[in-house]
């Protein structure tokens, strides 16, 4: 009799998906983590030109086109002052695949992986899929990850720890001092720091820094994507950057599960990274205005909310049953415990939607909170 793999039986359906399936068609959706802006025109035109020129009818290199990897390399020099060899990059099917191959290549059966809780829903599940042991750690009051907490959690079985800044679901941005400490921990304890930087450009206060800037070994593996910064979630184009030795191991996984990233998306991503960056700044400015509307509204309701300094999420503290009550009143928010046990007592709101809808949703929240809680 056939049976299912234990590692799959241990995995769960995303709590975000469960909320979406329960929502009505007319609900205001503050649960989805994607920009509501169109992909920039020059990016779409680059993909169309590549199709018309018959450049996308066959596989690309497993790592991605040389032109895209060169554009990614130049992006690191321009934005991060980091030298990255184009050969040390793999273009992937979104950041999701990049996270998957990074974890698969570095985590053995029973190896421990430390990650933030609350944190992005994929971390726990990808660790289980690789046969690893998830080790969630709590956050500071401002919802940033404390390097000291990570260091205290490291054991002889630790293979990796995950850093995410700006963070999903919290919107928190780690300081330069924190990033220096994460790099030190990776170097000193000889464990991999997997740094998820897909919201890199969406920062309102402070600045984005990466542990890769400060590491003295090759123990930092960085994941990024065009999805959030360029409003390209549907294009499924991300990448992973690491040392030659680590890239070669991740390539072994990538070549069998994906072969190569979508060719049209690679040409689109090349245009996004090397073309005008004005659309990014315009989106970030819009997100900051929306954040301020949301924070003012939540404060008016009386919901304590750590100030998000990046991404496009807010995570207020809410009464028990609050997220369910919002759903019943056609406002979709995600219960905090969908992102880990320490998310209990919070809810995640995405403000990647119009100010008009945000204001309408906040009015519903105010009415329901004051009536029912």
For 298-310, the pLDDT digits (tens) are 999 999 999 999 9
In angstroms, the CA 56 to CA 135 distance is: 42
Give Cα separations from 123 to 31, 60, 101, 137, 371 (angstroms): 19, 28, 12, 12, 37
The secondary structure element, H or E, covering residue 7 is helix 6-9
pLDDT at residue 13 greater than cutoff 80: no
Mean pLDDT, range 71-90, rounded to an integer: 98
Q: Give me the pLDDT at residue 124, please.
A: 97
pLDDT at residue 17 greater than cutoff 80: no
Q: Give me the pLDDT at residue 20, please.
A: 64
The residues pairing with 224 across neighbouring beta strands, listed in sequence order, are 239
Give Cα separations from 151 to 162, 200, 269 (angstroms): 12, 24, 36
Q: Give me the pLDDT at residue 351, please.
A: 98
pTM: predicted TM-score of the whole model, two decimal places: 0.96
Question: pLDDT tens-digit profile of 305-335?
Answer: 999 999 999 999 999 999 999 999 999 999 9
Query: Which structure tokens are listed for 133?
Result: 């042991």
pLDDT at residue 67 greater than cutoff 70: yes
Q: pLDDT confidence of 23, banded at 50, 70, 90?
A: low
CA nearest to 350, candidates 122, 33, 36? 33
- Residue 138, phi then psi, degrees to nearest 5: -75, 170
Q: Give me the pLDDT at residue 252, please.
A: 98
Mean pLDDT score across all residues of the chain: 96
In angstroms, the CA 193 to CA 184 distance is: 10
Cβ burial 322-354 (10 Å sphere, 16+ → b, else e): bbebbbebbbbbbbbbbbbebbeebbbbbbbbe
CA angle (152, 129, 151) in 5-degree steps: 10
Q: Give me the pLDDT at residue 243, please.
A: 98
Mean pLDDT, range 122-136, rounded to an integer: 97
In angstroms, the CA 289 to CA 317 distance is: 21
Q: Give me the pLDDT at residue 202, please.
A: 98
């Amino acid at each position: 009799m056939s049976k299912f793999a234990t590692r799959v039986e241990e995995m769960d359906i995303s709590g975000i998906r469960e909320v979406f399936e329960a929502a009505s068609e007319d609900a205001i959706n503050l649960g989805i983590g994607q920009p509501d802006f169109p992909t920039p025109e020059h990016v779409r035109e680059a993909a169309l030109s590549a199709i018309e020129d018959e450049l996308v009818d066959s596989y690309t290199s497993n790592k991605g086109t040389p032109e895209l990897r060169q554009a990614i390399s130049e992006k690191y020099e321009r934005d991060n002052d980091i030298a990255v060899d184009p050969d040390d990059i793999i273009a992937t099917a979104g950041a999701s695949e990049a996270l998957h191959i990074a974890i698969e290549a570095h985590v053995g059966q029973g190896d421990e992986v430390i990650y933030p809780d609350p944190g992005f829903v994929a971390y726990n599940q990808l660790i289980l899929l690789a046969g690893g042991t998830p080790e969630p750690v709590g956050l500071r009051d401002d919802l940033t990850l404390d390097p000291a907490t990570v260091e205290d959690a490291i054991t002889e079985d630790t293979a990796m720890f995950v850093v995410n800044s700006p963070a999903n679901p919290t919107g928190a941005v780690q300081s330069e001092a924190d990033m220096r400490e994460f790099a030190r921990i990776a170097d000193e304890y000889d464990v991999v720091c997997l740094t998820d930087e897909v919201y890199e450009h969406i920062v309102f206060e402070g600045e984005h820094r990466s542990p890769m800037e400060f590491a003295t070994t090759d123990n930092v593996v960085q994941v990024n994507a065009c999805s959030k910064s360029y409003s390209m979630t549907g294009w499924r184009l991300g990448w992973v950057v690491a040392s030659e030795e680590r890239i070669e191991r991740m390539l072994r996984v990538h070549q069998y599960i994906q072969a190569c990233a979508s060719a049209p998306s690679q040409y689109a991503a090349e245009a996004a990274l090397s073309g005008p960056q004005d659309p990014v700044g315009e989106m970030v400015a819009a997100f900051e205005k929306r954040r301020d509307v949301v924070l003012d509204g939540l404060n008016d309701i009386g919901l304590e909310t750590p100030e998000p300094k990046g991404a496009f999420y807010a995570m207020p503290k809410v009464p028990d049953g609050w997220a369910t009550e919002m759903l019943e009143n056609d406002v979709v928010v995600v219960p905090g415990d969908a992102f880990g046990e320490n998310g209990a007592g919070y809810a995640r709101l995405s403000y990647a939607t119009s100010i008009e809808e945000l204001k309408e949703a906040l009015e519903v929240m105010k009415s329901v909170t004051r009536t029912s809680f």
